[in-house]
Structure 1
Amino acid sequence: MQAHTDDLTTFFNLINSLSALIAELNVHQENARKKGLELYNLGSFRASEPYLTIAASAGDRPAQYALAEVLRRRQGSITEEAKKWYRLAAAQEDVYALLRLGDKESLDKARELLPPRIEQGDGEAMLQMYELTKEITWLKKSANTRFPEALYILALQYDRDRSLVPEGHNPTDVIDLLLERAAHVNFPLAMNWYTNRQKVTTFPSLRREWLEKTAALNDLYGVLKYGFALGHGESGGDPEYGYKKNYPLSYALVWLVVNSAPEYQLHNSAALFLDDLGKAMNPQEIALALKVAQTWKATHPPLSENRLTYHGV
């Protein structure tokens, strides 16, 4: 009887150990997923790859799509390795992965998946139908639901080809309206563009307000623009936005970009600016700026490029 009890104890201890190990693995996978997607959204594709691989291998669909995108970008085309991850994401009904695969079977599957969602008024599904068919009617329908990416992409299309703007409408006004709607639901790409439209630039205080809103979302470009603006103007006036100089906050914001996004296309410009700014500050001011940077990081969402999910990337 004692031997039987000992065997049961050993068995249950083994089960507990396995459960603890599985829980530990799940935490590891979730941490890898979170880190990988943060780096991917930041545009740090090389750095994101090992983390995304862990999460994608565990079956996480967003990680699978993101990893395939990293591989596609790295090679400049859809390789067999990228296809493997697109297929795994597509098997979980990821429409963007189906679109990337682009073969008849995949596109037919996308056509099958989208109508039920469209019937429910899903703006993203309408945008995906546009990407599938390239019929601008679907893009307009998606924009009419106020889906942010669709509003922004429709503005892009109108800006590239003014003949697409409905007859009797002023293209500038239509583009402004689309961007304004997307900006008001905190879509950073639209906010950055809207900030530079004449409708906004003629009112410096309004322009500053939109820049600060974009930076508060921790949009990479918005943070850098805000940092640049605060660090310009030795005599007190930033020529573009009209800010008075604030070197500690400027240093903090640019430092965050330089130290968080080494693969960012404006990284070199940011690093040079930071170096010049540091030469104009004393050690105490720099120490204060680094504390400000850490506070900003702790109180804002992760830095992100906020790229479009599929269109044009």
Structure 2
Amino acid sequence: MRANWFITFLTALSFSALATELTPDQQVAKTQGLVFYNQFKTTLAIPKLRIAADAGDQEAQYYLGEAIVRKSKHMTSEAQGAYEASALNGNIYSMIRLAGSSDDLCVTMKNCPSAQKTPAEWKKIALEKAQAEASKGDAEAMYLMFRLSGDDKWLERSAEAGYALAQYRLATAYRSGKGFFLPPSKRAEAVERLMKASAEGGYPLGMMGYVEVLASNKQFDLLRFWNQTAAESGYASAVFGYGSYLSKVPSEFAFPYDPVKSYALIFSLLELDGGGGMRDYASDKLPEISEKLTPEQIEQAKQISKDWKATHPPLSYFPDKL
């Protein structure tokens, strides 16, 4: 199972072919850097990503730029260089970041690094590349066309083509009142259809969006399945929810009572000390659960937590790539 998630994890992160082949050590560094990045451990992510970025990996270059900007709150010379190297290797995400640099905080601070191309030039290149890929039926490229153009038609096309993130985004937009439906009941049907498709496409936020739909429909068997599946994907919010439900008698959605497993899952979230608030939620929840356990059961739960970590994908907040 460990090998399977590792392959899936790397495949899902890459939009286009890698510009260079990494050595095993460089690949490990990149993977560790991405895990730290997705856990909001930016300081730890940067040196790991830098190893693969310096080797010419365009995906690592993009995420290095993202991590540096996240930490510094503005574009720096190193971030700019990482984005440009990635963009020159064909990474559309980096092109989009460079296209939006005219709105960066560095403009207000009047300390933006020098650039190889203007934001307008990068946007033109990004549009051309994304359009070319979209014309071949690439659903992710269609989503990037939406991000570049703001045209909802591209979001709809991406969702129809099966891109799980676009399906989630479109469902969320419909749920918030966007779009016109006649009769109005068709809106709820569209949201359910898209959230279900996103969940089945493997997107953890889509899984939890579908859980909300299932709660409204009182389809508790399916709700429990998708909440557990999202937790098993490593999605931190789903792990917290799943673990919390297991500690309740009776459970709101008929989850089985298992306080030992509940403690194990919530305990695993303590490693998320880089931000996002999940560590605080877990710290507040654990004393409540521990009241129901013996010291021996708590030790058992900690071992279960260790085993869970060894056999499941790393915990992640699954932040939007853009």
TM-score norm. by structure 2 comes to 0.81
Q: CA 1:165–1:258 in 2, change beyond 3 Å: closer, same or farther? A: farther
Match of 2:89 in 1: 92
**SS, match of residue 197 in structure 1:** helix
Match of 1:186 in 2: 202
Match of 1:63 among 54, 60, 65: 60
Judge conservation of contact 2:272–2:278 (CA < 8 Å) in 1: no
Match of 2:106 in 1: none
Q: Is 1:242 equivalent to 2:254 in the alignment?
A: yes
Judge conservation of contact 2:260–2:298 (CA < 8 Å) in 1: yes
CA deviation vs aligned residue, 1:48-90 (integer Å, no higher than 9, x gap): 1221122222222111111211222223333443222111111
CA deviation vs aligned residue, 1:16-35 (integer Å, no higher than 9, x gap): xxxxxxxxx93432221111
Match of 1:269 among 269, 281, 292: 281
**SS, match of residue 23 in structure 2:** helix
For structure 2, the 5+ residue unaligned runs are 1-21, 100-118
Cα distance between partner residues in 1 of 2:233 and 2:281: 22
1:183 is displaced (CA, Å) by: 1.0
**SS, match of residue 246 in structure 2:** helix
Match of 1:78 in 2: 75
For structure 1, the 5+ residue unaligned runs are 1-24
**SS, match of residue 109 in structure 1:** helix
Match of 1:280 in 2: 292
1:166 is displaced (CA, Å) by: 5.1
**1:201-280 matched pairs, under 5 angstroms:** 201-231=217-247, 233=248, 236-238=249-251, 240-280=252-292
Match of 1:151 in 2: 167
Between stretches 132-141 and 274-283, larger displacement belongs to: 274-283
1:244 is displaced (CA, Å) by: 3.6
Amino acid at match of 2:260: P
Cα distance between partner residues in 2 of 1:202 and 1:81: 51
**Structure 1 segments (4+ residues) deviating >6 Å:** none
Q: Is 1:29 equivalent to 2:26 in the alignment?
A: yes
Cα distance between partner residues in 1 of 2:314 and 2:256: 27
Aligned residue pairs, count = 281
Judge conservation of contact 2:39–2:274 (CA < 8 Å) in 1: no
1:156 is displaced (CA, Å) by: 2.2
Between stretches 122-131 and 198-207, larger displacement belongs to: 198-207
Q: Which structure carries more helix by proportion?
A: 1
Between stretches 283-292 and 26-35, larger displacement belongs to: 26-35
1:205 is displaced (CA, Å) by: 2.1
Judge conservation of contact 2:236–2:278 (CA < 8 Å) in 1: no
1:201 is displaced (CA, Å) by: 4.8
**SS, match of residue 318 in structure 2:** coil
Match of 1:126 in 2: 142
Query: Once the two structures are aligned, what percentage of the paired residues are identical?
Result: 29
Match of 1:50 in 2: 47
Cα distance between partner residues in 2 of 1:31 and 1:288: 31
Q: CA 1:52–1:165 in 2, change beyond 3 Å: closer, same or farther? A: farther
1:151 is displaced (CA, Å) by: 0.6
TM-score norm. by structure 1 comes to 0.83
Please tell me the root mean square deviation across aligned C-alpha atoms, in Å.
2.0
Match of 1:116 among 124, 127, 132: 132
Match of 1:3 in 2: none
Amino acid at match of 2:56: G
1:104 is displaced (CA, Å) by: 1.2
Between stretches 299-308 and 164-173, larger displacement belongs to: 164-173
Q: Is 1:173 equivalent to 2:186 in the alignment?
A: no
1:198 is displaced (CA, Å) by: 5.4
Match of 1:197 in 2: 213
Cα distance between partner residues in 2 of 1:77 and 1:178: 35
Judge conservation of contact 1:189–1:307 (CA < 8 Å) in 2: no
Amino acid at match of 1:188: P
Judge conservation of contact 1:126–1:141 (CA < 8 Å) in 2: yes
